[in-house]
A and B are shown apart, each in its own frame.
Chain A
Amino acid sequence: MITVRHSIETVFFIGITMAVMLFVMVQRNNSKNQSVFSAALPVVITPMPTPTPKGPQISIMDSPEGSKTLTLEMQQDKDITTYTLSASSKSDNEKKQLFKKVEPNSQILSIPFNTWSTDNVYVFLKEKTPSMDNYLVFQSSGNVFPDEAAFVSIQELFSKKVPGYVIEDVTGWAGPTSLIVNTKALGDSRKVSFWFEVPSQSFIQLSTYFN
């Protein structure tokens, strides 16, 4: 009788243990699958301007569905470059200037591949400086933001609103108004993603890291 009871207990124990082990293995495998995210592209296929001896260099990027085009003209003159950003719609072919800026040649403005928001209302530019990268958000209509600014500087806003983290990259749009901002914690190696909500100009910390 005791032997039978022992056998039942043993089989039951083996069954429970196996179930727990398999559950843990499957969970571990799934979490590994989800946490192993892609790296940023080393070379993004942003159309690069062809250097010409005279005249401006032009970089363009169409919106994802192709109805609008963002154009960045770069006119280099000795140590400075004049950048002119404009957006146009293929339906009316009208070009609206969004921004004009003169930068020293050590600072480079460029159009990221994912520049257009999903509803084509916003665009963002990358500004590479010797010390850090900045990201500027514009309204593609050419309208200014409620504070009369032509653009929002994500780096400036982030350092004011979210202490303890530094921006590593702004990769693209998670939706019509949410830009994905990848950051690193100061003092340790934690990597944290935020959504930058353009209308409210607020940062929302995410549990998933969008590598």
Chain B
Amino acid sequence: MKKKSIHKKKRTAFHAKKSHDTFHLTIFRYAIAFAIAFILSVAVYPLLPKQTSLCANSISCKEPPKFEMETNARGIFNNKPVPVPNIKLSRNENVNPVLGAKTSVGVKHIYVNLATQTLTAYEGDILFMETPISSGLWGKTPKGDFTIWTKFRSTRMTGGSGADYYDLPNVPYVMFFSNEEVPGSAGFSLHGTYWHNNFGHAMSHGCVNMKTTDVGKLYEWADGPVDAAKGTPITIFGDQPSL
């Protein structure tokens, strides 16, 4: 009887030790697995597509951008109705640009400074324009060197969802820009803005919003691509300061 009891105690102690060892082994195994997962995550993360490589307008980006104009349209911004101005085309706006048709005093270049929320446009050393803009608040404005990909006098931009939903017809003076990383079809552009007047402060879904009177002048001044020549270069730089 006593022998049986001792044997039982030994067996219990053996099982307890085995269970203890298994527990430690499992913890060790999970720690190793966690470390592997961490290393793999850090390695894989930079390869993931970033928000800027998606598109500026989540709904209208699904189709290639095109000229669109609507009379007495209704717009929605932040899920609220906004009055939409009609587009008045002037006589010269349907004339196709001809390379070298305008007399130029230097190379044109547009700079967008996200830190100061300003746009400057130069022709050689001569300042053509300096004005406040609104860059991305709900989406990030891509930084880098771009060229104007195509220009439309007016188009429709749609995106967001829920309280953030927007449907904006007759967006005026749209200059889509692109580079090797951000295709033109991503929908990032400089354009006029009738749904807010808060320039100098971030207020867009990734585009560069401008006062309509300013962007109208820039649209006339800047060149889209003609034949093999690329459009006017745009450099977007600077960091929007944190709070």
- Chain A residues engaging chain B, CB cutoff 8 angstroms: 6, 10, 13-15, 17-18, 21-22, 25-26, 29-30, 33-42, 44-45, 62, 64-66, 113-114, 116-119, 171-176, 180, 191, 208-211
Contact = CB atoms under 8 A, between A and B. Distances in A.
14 contacts: A14-B40, A22-B45, A29-B51, A33-B140, A34-B137, A36-B239, A39-B117, A41-B117, A45-B132, A66-B213, A119-B83, A173-B198, A175-B196, A208-B137
Contacts of B51: 29-30, 33
B137 A37 contact: yes
Contacts of A113: 132, 199-200
Contacts of B185: none
A35 B137 CA distance: 8
Contacts of B116: 38-39, 41-42
A25 B41 CA distance: 9
Interface in B193-208: 193-203
Contacts, number: 150
A6 B33 CA distance: 11
B30 interface: yes
Interface in B225-242: 239-242
A44 B197 CA distance: 14
Contacts of A211: 201-202, 241, 243
B118 interface: yes
A44 B200 contact: yes
A200 to B, nearest CB: 14
Interface in B29-58: 29-30, 33-34, 36-38, 40-41, 44-45, 48, 50-51
Nearest to B36: A14
A114 B199 contact: yes
Q: Give 7 closest A-B pairs by Cβ, nearest first.
A: A172-B198, A17-B37, A21-B41, A41-B200, A66-B213, A38-B202, A173-B197
B85 interface: yes
B114 interface: yes
B179 to A, nearest CB: 19
